[in-house]
Structure 1
Amino acid sequence: MYSALPARSVAVILGTRPELVKLAPVVHRLGDATRLIHTGQHWDDAMSGRFLAELGLPRPEVLSSIGGTPRAVQIGRSLEQLDALFADDRPAAVVVQGDTNATLAGALAANARSVPLVHVEAGLRSHDPAMPEEHNRILVDAVSDVLCAATPDNRANLLAEGIPADRISVTGNTVVEAVRRHLPGDGRRTALLARHGLVHDRYVLATVHRPENTDGTATLRTVLTELAALATAEVPVLLPLHPRTRARIEAERLGGLLAGIRVLEPLGYGDFLALARHAALLVSDSGGIQEECTVLGRPLIVVRRSTERPESMADFADLVTPGPELGRLARLRLAEGDRGLRRLAALPSPYGDGLAAERIARLVATAAGAAGAAAGQALAS
């Protein structure tokens, strides 16, 4: 269906590993029409390179001097470089996903050049003005031509803000496809658990990386203390340590709090999904894991002050700020045992039927085709 799109005519802009995961199904649908551009927000060969290979994505164009800089610098430098790229080789459409600095820079670059903009995962709202991501997603939605809302609630958020209904489509979330495609088979999962000395449904898997949990010494200390207190000989706590979190732990001399936790190196996407699939409980501040847990059928404690994914909270997840409530809610979920896991496994994900990428790719092709036709008419006149 997308063979009519010229090669490399659709600029897909991303800057973080979660965006790689979420946009991979769309890139696979668009095929040779994709021009993948990485802003470098989370770029390193060891991590991002591994994700590209694992997700079957082409090597992207990578912008320079972005990673590790303040938010305003990331957005400004990305916007400047993207504008130069678009001036030299104008895309037929631009696709961005979510709410990162790369997303906002890509949206502004498309808008500045009057290129049709498709926003994947539009309409999420935490209603928390302290979150930089909330500002990013609101601004991107405001300038987007095609808004791909993952859920009806996301669509309702957009309508409430005055976005015209004809610009919004409920597509589902590509996370469903990503999890189904990259979750390893039974044999590989069993081998991975054996390698780590783990028993199915008898361990906790945690991730911590957001600034609200790592930048303050007291908060980071509390999170690590609560995680360590959950660990027992029968139910260990695993913590794949994000480089940013590791650096903060070392800088604040909190390494002793890791003594009761099994610290792992960062995991590839498939290995993470394999461990998450058989965890008795997930504990995380990640946005993506709030969606992935609903596909995997696992309970989750969300360690954040707010969430833009209330759909997960209905059955799969509990929202909690760092403190004793974290441990209390975690123990309640663990106490549900196999009965609780069976209940969640029987529930459908609120994020769609696994066909989101096909719907999004069709919308991208329509937007690009319409822009091309309009340009042709302008030239003819």
Structure 2
Amino acid sequence: MHSALPARSVAVVLGTRPELVKLAPVIHRLGDATRLIHTGQHWDDAMSGRFLQELGLPRPEVLTEVGGTSRAVQIGRSLEQLDALFTGDRPAAVVVQGDTNATLAGALAANARAIPLVHVEAGLRSHDPAMPEEHNRVLVDAVSDVLCAATPENRANLLAEGVGADRISVTGNTVVEAVRAHLPDDGRRSALLARHGLVPDRYVLATVHRPENTDGPATLRTVLTELAALATDEVPVLLPLHPRTRARVEAERLGGLLAGIRVLEPLGYGDFLALARHAALLVSDSGGIQEECTVLGRPLIVVRRSTERPEAMAHFAALVSPGPELGRLARLRLAEGDRVLRRLAGLPSPYGDGRAAERIARLVATAAGATRSATALAA
């Protein structure tokens, strides 16, 4: 789309599967101008490698010795390697997304070298200081030159913190076009459900991976116990098991709690969307699923202390902490049956019109073009 930009002139820094999904539409818009850099925060073929192929993304430069380390080490090692890359081959602009450790490392590397920084999905706030991502997103917003706020609420958060209005653009969220592009058609969805022996609107799809739910054995035990208690022959519970969660289940010897749950290997994005599209209920601690459920028209229970996505809470999702309230609310939602599904199907997503990537790519091109013009004048 932006052929005026030189090849590989825009560094897109990411490190997790949700970032791949969210940034794929922007990367496609930027085309050959993209220089894709993966910090390795969550690098393996199941969680990142297969997504590159499925999303049609180029093979990235992958940083070393980052995954599996502490937050501080991930940020430090990523920052050191990114600084070396940007020094040897300076990009015209850097793009980061969301609030991961990779996001913060990319932002600090750009800031240290005075490279224009574009933050996609800026302005999310949970107001929960116990959440590492909250600190990441606040820091990234503070040093960003172009802040792409997904919603007017996100823009308001930034303005309240003193960010200049001239730095903020409300773009919508790329999740809308990502879901529309990668949701399999009716025939493929029907075939997938048949392979799993599932009836549309008669199963629960769950995901659990956040440290607040997996790192404490008592909390993880509670979540798995509540999920298992929901499962019946008529309404099974499916759980694609995240590598972090699997490792914690094995370490704490909680495998017996999975006996009543249909445990799946990590799914590709299209397969996950297909299963989510026909689930009677979603249960998750994921941030991305809070957005995806609004495009798919499915009810969601968010198992977390807090959320940075209040827009989804208005109609599509409800926030609960692990415990009996999770099971009680899940049964209430399931009892509503087709009524809630029909109601949600008629509601628009609060995350925009599906043109976010177009707007973001235009902002990136402007930021990168301004850098090239300044460099030419200096020469």
By the TM > 0.5 criterion, same fold?
yes
Identical residues among aligned pairs (%): 91
**Structure 2 contact 46–266 (Cα < 8 Å) conserved:** no
What displacement does 1:47 show? 2.9
What displacement does 1:45 show? 2.7
Work out the CA distance in 1 between the residues paired with 2:377 and 2:350. 45
Counterpart secondary structure, 1:197: coil
Work out the CA distance in 2 between the residues paired with 1:115 and 1:235. 52
- Cα deviation per residue 1:26-63 (whole Å; 9 max; x = unaligned)? 00000000000000000113431100000000000000
Deviates more, 1:179-188 or 1:330-339: 330-339
Q: Which runs of 5+ in 1 are unaligned?
A: none
Work out the CA distance in 2 between the residues paired with 1:125 and 1:94. 22
What displacement does 1:132 show? 0.4
Counterpart secondary structure, 2:318: strand
Deviates more, 1:322-331 or 1:45-54: 45-54
Work out the CA distance in 1 between the residues paired with 2:109 and 2:244. 29
What displacement does 1:332 show? 1.1
Counterpart secondary structure, 1:47: helix
**Structure 2 contact 96–119 (Cα < 8 Å) conserved:** yes
- Cα deviation per residue 1:199-223 (whole Å; 9 max; x = unaligned)? 0000000000001001111101100
What displacement does 1:380 show? 4.5
**Structure 2 contact 30–361 (Cα < 8 Å) conserved:** yes
What displacement does 1:378 show? 6.8
Work out the CA distance in 1 between the residues paired with 2:363 and 2:313. 29
Relative distance call for 1:328 and 1:46 in structure 2 (3 A) is closer
Relative distance call for 1:378 and 1:31 in structure 2 (3 A) is closer
Work out the CA distance in 2 between the residues paired with 1:234 and 1:330. 15
Work out the CA distance in 1 between the residues paired with 2:46 and 2:318. 33
Work out the CA distance in 1 between the residues paired with 2:278 and 2:44. 29
Moved over 6 A (4+): none
- Cα deviation per residue 1:269-298 (whole Å; 9 max; x = unaligned)? 000000000000000000000000000000
Counterpart secondary structure, 1:3: coil
- Cα deviation per residue 1:101-137 (whole Å; 9 max; x = unaligned)? 0000000000001000000000000000000000000
> What residue number does 1:149 align with?
149
Relative distance call for 1:380 and 1:82 in structure 2 (3 A) is closer
> What residue number does 2:231 align with?
231
> What residue number does 2:262 align with?
262
> What residue number does 2:62 align with?
62
Work out the CA distance in 1 between the residues paired with 2:218 and 2:72. 27
Work out the CA distance in 2 between the residues paired with 1:162 and 1:380. 32
- Cα deviation per residue 1:122-162 (whole Å; 9 max; x = unaligned)? 00000000000000000000000000000000000000000
Counterpart secondary structure, 1:46: helix
Deviates more, 1:139-148 or 1:323-332: 323-332
Relative distance call for 1:379 and 1:199 in structure 2 (3 A) is same
Work out the CA distance in 2 between the residues paired with 1:219 and 1:42. 23
What displacement does 1:322 show? 0.3
Q: Give the TM-score of the pair, scaled to structure 2.
A: 0.98
Aligned residues: 378
What displacement does 1:377 show? 6.2
